C-alpha cells in the first residue's frame, strides 16, 4: 500500500489550474510585524515549472531577509497603531499611553500617517513640525506650540526606532533630523501678594486649605488631590508630607503589570508618581501642619482615605479647576492656570535665596533623580526654605 506523503508545514503548497488557467504556489507566513495582519507568499504562472521556480526564489528571499519580494510595506499609521497596542501598552501607565495616542491622532497621523513606513525620511519630520505649528484656515485647525512639535517628533522617532528593532526598516531617519527648537513661553503666575489675597478671600475652608498647600508646597494638582492622612509623617520632629500617590481620572484604564495603583471607583485612581523624584518629602510650616491635622480630624478621614473630597468622592481635576477659577474671580485676580501655583512657589524660593539643590528637591523636578549629592539635606534645611516662602505670602 502506498502511503500518501504530506508536505511539511511551511513548505508551501500547489493548487491546480483554476478558471484563469494559472498554477498557484502559496505558503502561510507569520503575521505582518507592522500591522499584525495575515500574510501569504503567493506565486502564479501558466507553466507549473515556472510557478514552482519563482516560488522557490521568493521563499529563499523571505528566509534570508524576512521580507517578501513585492510585498507592500504598511503605512506609518498602521505601524503606529500596532506599536502603541503591542509594544508601548505593556510599558506605559494608562495616562501616558492616552497622551501618546492623542499626539499620534492629532499630529503624527494627519501629517504623515499615510506615508509608507520605508519611505519616511527627514523631510517628513519637517512636514510634521510645519503641520503642528501652522494654522489651517480651510479646516479651522489652530497652530500648536513648539513644545507639542517636539513631543510629536519624539513619538515618531521612538516608533521608528522600534521599527528598526523589529526589522521593518533599516535605519531611523530621526537620527539624521534635528529636533524642533522649543520656544519658551511666558507663564502667567500670581505674585506672593496676589496669592495671599486669593487665599484670604476664599470662603470655603477646604478650598482655602487647598490653596495654601498649592502655594506653599508646589504640589502638582494630582498630588494635592491625592493627599491621604498616611502621608503626614514626622521627620526630625518636623511634620512633612510624604508624596507617595497622585490622583488621576482615567477612562477604561488598563494598567500594565507592575504599575501600583488603587481603584477608587468612577474612573478615579491613585497612582504612584511617574518618576523617582516625584517621591519626596515636603516640610510643612507649624501653622499649615496644624491646619491640615485639624481638617483631617474634622472630615474623619482614615489613614488611606482622601482628605479633599466632594460628598466623599474624589475631586476631579476639572472640578478643582472650576473651584480655582471661582477663587480667582472672587479675589479680582487674572485667570491663571492651577499649575501656575508651582511656578509661584518656585519663584518665591528663588527670590528668598534658596539654593538650586533645595529647590529641586522640594519641587520634585526630574533632575533630582541625578543629584544624589543633595540627599544630605535634612527636614530642617527644607523647612527653612518653605518658611521663607510662607513669610513672603504673609508679608
> Whose grid coordinates read 513640525?
129
Is 240 in the same domain as 308? yes
Q: Of the residues 152, 176, 200, which one is the last residue of a structural domain? A: 176
Is 102 in the same domain as 240? no
Contacts of 187 (CB under 8 A, 6+ apart): 337, 340, 343
Question: What is the residue-level pLDDT of the chain in tens, covering all 395 positions?
Answer: 443 444 444 555 666 666 667 888 888 888 776 666 777 888 887 788 878 887 887 788 777 766 665 556 789 999 999 999 999 998 898 889 999 999 999 999 999 999 999 999 999 999 999 999 999 888 889 999 999 999 999 999 999 999 999 888 889 999 999 999 988 777 789 999 999 999 999 999 999 999 999 999 999 999 999 999 999 999 988 999 998 899 999 888 888 877 888 999 888 999 987 665 567 889 999 999 999 999 999 999 999 999 999 998 999 999 999 999 999 999 999 999 999 999 999 999 888 888 888 888 888 865 544 333 333 456 877 888 888 888 888 75
Is 213 in the same domain as 282? yes
Contacts of 391 (CB under 8 A, 6+ apart): 352
Is 87 in the same domain as 162? yes
pLDDT at 383: 86
CATH number (domain holding residue 164): 1.10.150.130
DSSP single-letter state for residue 241: E
Is 201 in the same domain as 322? yes
Contacts of 2 (CB under 8 A, 6+ apart): none
Alpha-carbon distance of 357 to 361, in angstroms, equals 6
> Whose grid coordinates read 526589522?
167
Residue span of the structural domain in which 128 resides: 76-176
Q: What is the residue-wise DSSP string for 34-101? A: TT---EEEEEEESSHHHHHHHHHHHHHHHHHHS--TTPPPPBHHHHHHHIIIIIITTTS-HHHHHHHH
Please check whether residue 254 lies inside any domain of the structure: no
Q: What is the residue-wise DSSP string for 246-260? A: EEEE-TT--PPTT--
pLDDT at 34: 62
Pairing of the two strands 261-265 and 309-310: unpaired
Please check whether residue 89 lies inside any domain of the structure: yes
Is 49 in the same domain as 99? no
Beta strands in the chain (DSSP E): 13-15, 23-29, 39-45, 232-235, 238-243, 246-249, 261-265, 268-271, 280-283, 309-310, 313-314
Give backbone dihedrals phi and psi of 164, rounded to 5 degrees, phi first. -65, -45
pLDDT at 159: 97
Please check whether residue 166 lies inside any domain of the structure: yes
Q: What is the tally of structural domains in the chain?
A: 3
Is 131 in the same domain as 89? yes
pLDDT at 257: 79
pLDDT at 38: 79
Alpha-carbon distance of 124 to 130, in angstroms, equals 10
pLDDT at 171: 93
Neighbours of 234 (CB within 10 A): 10
Q: Are 198 and 331 in contact (CB under 8 A)?
A: yes
Please check whether residue 293 lies inside any domain of the structure: yes
Amino acid at each position: 500500500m502506498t502511503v500518501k506523503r504530506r508536505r511539511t508545514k511551511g513548505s508551501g503548497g500547489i493548487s491546480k489550474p483554476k478558471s484563469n488557467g494559472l498554477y498557484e504556489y502559496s505558503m502561510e507566513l507569520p503575521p505582518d510585524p507592522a500591522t499584525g495582519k495575515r500574510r501569504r507568499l503567493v506565486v502564479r504562472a501558466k507553466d507549473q515549472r515556472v510557478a514552482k521556480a519563482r516560488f522557490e526564489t521568493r521563499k529563499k528571499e523571505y528566509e534570508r531577509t524576512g521580507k517578501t519580494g513585492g510585498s507592500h510595506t504598511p503605512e506609518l499609521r498602521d505601524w503606529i497603531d500596532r506599536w502603541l497596542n503591542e509594544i508601548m501598552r505593556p510599558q506605559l501607565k494608562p495616562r501616558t499611553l492616552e497622551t501618546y495616542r492623542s499626539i499620534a491622532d492629532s499630529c503624527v497621523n494627519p501629517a504623515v500617517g499615510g506615508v509608507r513606513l520605508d519611505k519616511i525620511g527627514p523631510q517628513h519630520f519637517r512636514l510634521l513640525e510645519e503641520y503642528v505649528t501652522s494654522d489651517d484656515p480651510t479646516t479651522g485647525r489652530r497652530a500648536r506650540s513648539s513644545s507639542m512639535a517636539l513631543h510629536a517628533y519624539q513619538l515618531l522617532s521612538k516608533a521608528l526606532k522600534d521599527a528598526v528593532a523589529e526589522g521593518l526598516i533599516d535605519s531611523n531617519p530621526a537620527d539624521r533630523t534635528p529636533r524642533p527648537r522649543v520656544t519658551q513661553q511666558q507663564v502667567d503666575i500670581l505674585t506672593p501678594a496676589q496669592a495671599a489675597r486669593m487665599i484670604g478671600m476664599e470662603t470655603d475652608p477646604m478650598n482655602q486649605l487647598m490653596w495654601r498647600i498649592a502655594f506653599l508646597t508646589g504640589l502638582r494638582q494630582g498630588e494635592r488631590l491625592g493627599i491621604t492622612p498616611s502621608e503626614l509623617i514626622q521627620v526630625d520632629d518636623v511634620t512633612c508630607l510624604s508624596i507617595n500617590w497622585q490622583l488621576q481620572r482615567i477612562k477604561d484604564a488598563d494598567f500594565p503589570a507592575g504599575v501600583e495603583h488603587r481603584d477608587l471607583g468612577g474612573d478615579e485612581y491613585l497612582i504612584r508618581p511617574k518618576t523617582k523624584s516625584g517621591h519626596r518629602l515636603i516640610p510643612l510650616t507649624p501653622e499649615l501642619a496644624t491646619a491640615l491635622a485639624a481638617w483631617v480630624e474634622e472630615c474623619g478621614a482614615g489613614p488611606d482615605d482622601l482628605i479633599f473630597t466632594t460628598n466623599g468622592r474624589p475631586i476631579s481635576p476639572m472640578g478643582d479647576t472650576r473651584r480655582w477659577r471661582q477663587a480667582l474671580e472672587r479675589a479680582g485676580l487674572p485667570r491663571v492656570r492651577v499649575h501656575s501655583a508651582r511656578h509661584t512657589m518656585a519663584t518665591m524660593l528663588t527670590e528668598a535665596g534658596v539654593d538650586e539643590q533645595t529647590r529641586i528637591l522640594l519641587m520634585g523636578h526630574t533632575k533630582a533623580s541625578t543629584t544624589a549629592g543633595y540627599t544630605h539635606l535634612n527636614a530642617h534645611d527644607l523647612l527653612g526654605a518653605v518658611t521663607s516662602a510662607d513669610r513672603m505670602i504673609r508679608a
